[in-house]
Amino acid sequence: MAETSHEIVDNFCKAWSRRNLDEILGYFTDDAEYQNVPMGPGAKGKDAIKAVINSFLPMAKGLEFKILRSASTGNTVFNERVDIFDLGGGKKIELPVAGVFEVRGGKIALWRDYFDLAMWTKQMS
């Protein structure tokens, strides 16, 4: 039996803890779009998404997308989560995030994250 859109997104969020870029990119369609909404225009296509992920994934010694709530209708999945970045040396960033995903053909075609950019920036300093 094929995975539901909800299961695909849940598994995608769990994959981040392994920090394997190829595995993470494998969840996307070739023409997928990814947008961190408070940071402006998104990335379109796997190469652009890879570049965005590479801007923050290497700095994390550990990473967890802790899903608090999740709901789906058809191919659209919404989740409320806390993204926890372990930067090493006892420094952690915990960022509340609302994510919206659209799944097509068993892969993520659209991913938008909504979060407080000031909260991210404050914790990075």
Strand ranges for the chain from DSSP E: 28-36, 43-44, 62-73, 76-88, 91-104, 107-114
Calculate the CA dihedral of residues 38, 21, 3, 64 and round it to 10 degrees. -60
Residue-level pLDDT at 14? 97
Residue type present at position 81: R
Q: Which domains does the chain have, with CATH numbers?
A: 5-124 (3.10.450.50)
Residue-level pLDDT at 87? 93
Residue-level pLDDT at 123? 87
Q: What is the pTM of this model?
A: 0.94
Average pLDDT along the chain, 125 residues, taken 10 residues at a time: 90 97 97 92 95 92 97 97 94 96 98 94 86
Rounded to 5 degrees, what angle do the CA atoms 39, 93, 116 make?
Answer: 35
